[in-house]
């Protein structure tokens, strides 16, 4: 590989929420940090070079995306997903969560039902409740170590609660499913039948493991395109979250108009110039780096799988089909939530994301970020092994 993903990069004292703010977030200092979804790898060199070149220009005034920016996006989505976007669909925002909150406010009224599939990325529920909408949960099924969708419950909840909006997570964070075309078609047809609009969070679309294919929800059926907001960003893929750039695609002019009006109410207009520079460089010159990264992540996954089977057999890996966030099942240890948290934090010295953050169905699970040098993962799992063994001896 041209990129050394084994390189240990010092991130302490860099204003990183992953490393520098444990006490502010109620955690002890000194934990090994594998929680929030940013990677411990440097972004591709061409991205750094582009940012340095822009910095040397020395002016960072108000900016807007133009034809060159759109062309780079168009090529990326056509090449990787056979998805043909149009320039008028594009709305840039500072992040996908911002876009989801904007969609909630622009497409629903206070008290309206918004449905999500828990356990799922926790800002979904936060944005629904903080905006005074009615949180409706279609809990994912979990059987024989794999997650699925209860379609009957999904439709029942929509009808019963007069749901107006569905927030889809594909690939799904944290359970790692890459929903099949058949699954997405069933969800979409139910939404069409009952007049439900769809916000599809597809930020993890570039992290798909062998044997699986990401399907852009809005591209599956012309009717889906008319009811959809598709949320994408280069930030997870190329480790650019702090540059705050996301690309939202809204084909329906009426929905797009409402969305933009709500953005203006929130005081947001032009995108971050450095975010656009980074996105352009990443999508035009970062393909080889991403290919190498996917190989390294697959090897990390192989390492974790082997370690758990051979040394921690009661901690179960939920096989991810996508994302670099791995969902671990600790239920066989028979610990209550506080006991499990105590084991992870105070005994193993790890900072992971507890399953209950992700809503119903998260009890007894932990989410771990595997986008780190392998020696870090080995250290984390060894600390966990020692903590479990000591507990069992006592």
For the residues of 59-119, what is the DSSP string, one character each?
--------HHHHHHHHHHHHHHH-----GGGEEEES-HHHHHHHHHHHH--TT-EEEE-SS
Would you state the pLDDT for residue 287?
A: 97
Residue 20: phi and psi, rounded to 5, are: -105, 0
**Spatial contact of 275 and 243, defined as CB atoms under 8 Å apart:** yes
Flag whether 239 is in a domain.
yes
User: Does position 348 have pLDDT exceeding 90, yes or no?
Assistant: yes
Would you state the pLDDT for residue 269?
A: 85
- Rounded to the nearest angstrom, the gap between the alpha carbon of residue 271 and the centroid of all alpha carbons in its chain is 21
Would you state the pLDDT for residue 251?
A: 98
Flag whether 17 is in a domain.
no
Q: Are residues 88 and 33 in the same domain?
A: no
How far, in Å, CA of 129 to CA of 364, rounded?
24
Which tokens is 183 given?
Answer: 């699954």
Would you state the pLDDT for residue 392?
A: 73
Whole-number average pLDDT of the chain: 97
> How would residue 357 be classed by pLDDT, with cut points 50, 70 and 90?
very high
Q: Are residues 248 and 312 in the same domain?
A: no
Last residue of a domain, one of 285, 306, 336: 285
> Which class for 11: exposed (0-12), middle (13-18), buried (19 or more C-beta within 10 A)?
middle
Which tokens is 369 given?
Answer: 């970020």
User: Does position 226 have pLDDT exceeding 90, yes or no?
Assistant: yes
Q: Are residues 211 and 309 in the same domain?
A: no
Last residue of a domain, one of 215, 250, 285: 285
Would you state the pLDDT for residue 130?
A: 98
Q: Are residues 243 and 135 in the same domain?
A: yes
Which tokens is 290 given?
Answer: 């991403």
CATH number at residue 158: 3.40.640.10
User: Does position 393 have pLDDT exceeding 80, yes or no?
Assistant: no
Q: Are residues 269 and 332 in the same domain?
A: no
Over residues 174-220, the pLDDT tens digits come to: 999 999 999 999 999 999 999 999 999 999 999 999 999 999 999 99
Flag whether 253 is in a domain.
yes
Would you state the pLDDT for residue 301?
A: 98
Which tokens is 349 given?
Answer: 């010295």
Last residue of a domain, one of 259, 285, 311: 285
Q: Are residues 348 and 382 in the same domain?
A: yes
Q: Are residues 307 and 237 in the same domain?
A: no
3-state helix, strand, coil in the chain (%, to 5): 45, 15, 40
Cis peptide preceding 373, ω within 30 of 0? no
Of all residues in the chain, what percent carry a pLDDT higher than 70?
100
Cβ-based neighbours of 157, under 8 Å, separated by 6 or more:
115, 136, 137, 138, 163
Over residues 13-72, the pLDDT tens digits come to: 999 999 999 999 999 999 999 999 999 999 999 999 999 999 999 999 999 999 999 999
Over residues 282-339, the pLDDT tens digits come to: 999 999 999 999 999 999 999 999 999 999 999 999 999 999 999 999 999 999 999 9
> How would residue 1 be classed by pLDDT, with cut points 50, 70 and 90?
confident
User: Does position 82 have pLDDT exceeding 90, yes or no?
Assistant: yes
Q: Are residues 270 and 294 in the same domain?
A: no
Q: Are residues 124 and 238 in the same domain?
A: yes
Angle at which helix 273-285 crosses helix 67-81, to 10 degrees, equals: 40
Q: Are residues 299 and 366 in the same domain?
A: yes
Of all residues in the chain, what percent carry a pLDDT higher than 90?
98
Flag whether 6 is in a domain.
no
Would you state the pLDDT for residue 8?
A: 97
> CA triplet 136, 26, 364: central angle to 5 degrees?
50
Q: Are residues 279 and 291 in the same domain?
A: no
CATH number at residue 353: 3.90.1150.10
Q: Are residues 232 and 321 in the same domain?
A: no
The predicted model gives 227-238 an average pLDDT of: 98
Domain that holds residue 110: 47-285
**pTM of the model as a whole:** 0.97
User: Does position 161 have pLDDT exceeding 80, yes or no?
Assistant: yes
Structural domain count of the chain: 2
């Amino acid at each position: 590989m041209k990129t050394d993903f084994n390189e240990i990069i010092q991130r302490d004292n860099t204003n990183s929420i992953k490393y520098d703010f444990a006490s502010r977030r109620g955690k002890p200092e000194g934990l090994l940090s594998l929680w929030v979804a940013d990677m411990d790898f440097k972004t591709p060199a061409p991205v750094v070079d582009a940012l340095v070149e822009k910095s040397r220009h020395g002016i960072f005034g108000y900016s807007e995306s133009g034809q060159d920016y759109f062309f780079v996006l168009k090529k990326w989505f056509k090449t990787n997903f056979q998805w043909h976007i149009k320039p008028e669909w594009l709305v840039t925002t500072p992040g996908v969560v911002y876009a989801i909150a904007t969609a909630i406010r622009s497409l629903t009224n206070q008290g309206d039902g918004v449905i999500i599939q828990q356990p799922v990325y926790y800002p979904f529920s936060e944005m629904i409740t903080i905006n005074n909408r009615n949180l409706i949960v279609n809990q994912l099924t979990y059987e024989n170590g794999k997650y699925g969708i209860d379609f009957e419950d999904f439709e029942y909840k929509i009808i019963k609660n007069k749901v107006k909006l569905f927030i889809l997570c594909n690939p799904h964070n944290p359970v790692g499913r890459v929903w099949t075309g058949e699954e997405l078609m069933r969800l979409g047809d139910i939404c069409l039948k009952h007049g439900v609009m769809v916000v599809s969070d597809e930020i993890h679309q570039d992290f798909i493991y062998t044997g699986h294919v990401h399907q852009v929800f809005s591209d599956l059926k012309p009717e889906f395109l008319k009811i959809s907001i598709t949320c994408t960003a280069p930030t997870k893929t190329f480790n650019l979250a702090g540059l705050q750039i996301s690309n939202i695609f809204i084909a329906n002019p009426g929905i797009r108009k409402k969305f933009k009006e709500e953005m203006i109410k929130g005081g947001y207009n032009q995108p971050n110039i450095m975010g656009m520079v980074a996105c352009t460089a990443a999508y035009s010159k970062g393909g080889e780096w991403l290919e190498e990264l996917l190989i390294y992540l697959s090897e990390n996954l192989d390492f974790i799988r082997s370690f758990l089977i051979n040394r921690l057999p009661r901690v179960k890996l939920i096989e991810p089909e996508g994302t670099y966030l791995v969902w671990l099942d600790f239920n066989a240890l028979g610990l209550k939530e506080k006991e499990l948290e105590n084991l992870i934090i105070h005994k193993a010295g790890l900072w992971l994301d507890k399953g209950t953050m992700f809503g119903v169905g998260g009890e007894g699970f932990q989410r771990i970020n595997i986008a780190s040098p392998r020696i870090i993962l080995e250290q984390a799992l060894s600390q966990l092994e020692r903590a479990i063994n000591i507990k069992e001896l006592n």
